Amino acid sequence: MQEIKLGDIIIEVEQKDIKNIHLSVYPPDGKVKVAAPLRMDLDTIRVFVIDKLQWIKTQQVSFKAQDREAPRKYVSRENHYYQGKRYLLKIIEHDAKPKVVLKHSNLELYVRPDTSVEKRQEIIEEWYREQLKATIPKMVEKWEKIMGVKANNVRVRKMKTKWGSCNTDTKNIWINLELAKKPLDCLEYIIVHELVHLLERNHNNQFVKYMDTFMPKWRFYRDELNRLPFKHVEWEY
């Protein structure tokens, strides 16, 4: 891994077998990474980064000002989120199989006595996963028809570094488990974003044209997602 230093900004550079250069700035602290083709020399990469320096600084300022979610303790009256709405966690002990129930403004977690914090987290995360797995297919089917594309698989997993990802060779799409907590519009935006990669691999002008055509308000949804609090771990979008 090589590095480029521009003032107090350090850019990690990874060269690999790709066609185009990619620049990313990652929340929560604005870490900067560049993925560049093997054929590209470091001086050329440096010139590219210098040209994008103001954009990098703007992203870093935005990320550092953004709210953070506090670490979860999974105790009663703790705030938890589902589809963009806030719910108070209510722990209910019972001697039966654990379950999660949405009831009015509460997220009720039924667990056996002495269930550990780690297990409570696991149960809630599995519930989030099941909700996404029930919601995503209809959205994907809707947008596949509109866009004229077809994904082979769309799956959910915990990701520290992305809201979603698309392997354009296998046509497999992954959606971040954290999106269960966000408004449905934000989830739909990420699904459209990843499906567009089946039409255009890179984040270039053509990609933006596709997004403008299929989802004219995509920037609004992106900005809404950016305004929401980050989870307490590092991840990128």
pLDDT by residue (tens digit) across 8-57? 999 999 998 888 888 888 766 788 999 899 999 999 999 999 999 998 99
What's the CA gap between 192 and 56, in Å, rounded?
A: 25
Question: Residues of CATH 3.30.2010.10 domain(s) within the chain?
Answer: 79-227
What's the CA gap between 99 and 189, in Å, rounded?
A: 29
Mean pLDDT within 103-130:
97
Mapping DSSP to helix (H, G, I), strand (E, B) and coil, where does residue 5 land? strand
In the CATH hierarchy, which top-level class contains the domain 79-227?
alpha beta
What's the CA gap between 31 and 24, in Å, rounded?
A: 8
pTM of the model: 0.75
Mean pLDDT within 83-88:
95
Tell me: pLDDT of 236 over 70.
Answer: no
Mean pLDDT within 75-87:
95
Which segments of the chain are extended strands (E)?
A: 2-6, 9-16, 22-26, 31-37, 79-82, 85-93, 99-103, 106-111, 153-157, 164-167, 172-176
Tell me: pLDDT of 217 over 60.
Answer: yes
What's the CA gap between 132 and 149, in Å, rounded?
A: 21
| pLDDT attached to residue 162 | 81
